[in-house]
Amino acid sequence: MNHQNTFHAAFFRSRPFTFIFTLGGFFVWWIVWLIQSRTEKLTIENGKIIYNNGIISKNVVECKLERVSSVHVRQSLGQLIFGCGDIVVNSSGDVPEIIALGFVDVKKIKQIIDDQSN
């Protein structure tokens, strides 16, 4: 089955207070933040999780779903209110394979990873 699920990092909803504070004169930083949130991508397809991020230099982390030992969802109060959070994917090692910050529908992402890794 070649079903692909792609998720992008949230912009406003992941860090609302940072968004509000940046409106006071940090317009350039705000634009960079917008571009960063659009270039950060988590894809679940063909038995793999692929995490892409970076604007000028790209970072790609790929993890096979069969190697996933646990998936953690972290949500601050602001992220909980706006329905987003952070995903931490662990495999057999001590260090997490993927740390994806500021994604929308993290519970749905975790459920898809759990369903496809079994």
**And the tokens for 89?**
């994917």
Selection from 71, 63, 76, 73 nearest residue 90 by Cα: 71
Per-residue pLDDT for 1 more than 70?
no
Topology classification of domain 5-117 = PH-domain like (2.30.29)
Q: What are 21-76's pLDDT values in tens digits?
A: 666 666 777 787 788 888 899 999 988 999 998 888 889 999 999 989 999 999 99
Does this model's pTM top 0.75? My answer is no
The pairing of strands 70-74 and 98-104 is unpaired
Selection from 111, 98, 19, 23 nearest residue 64 by Cα: 98
Secondary structure (3-state) at 69: coil
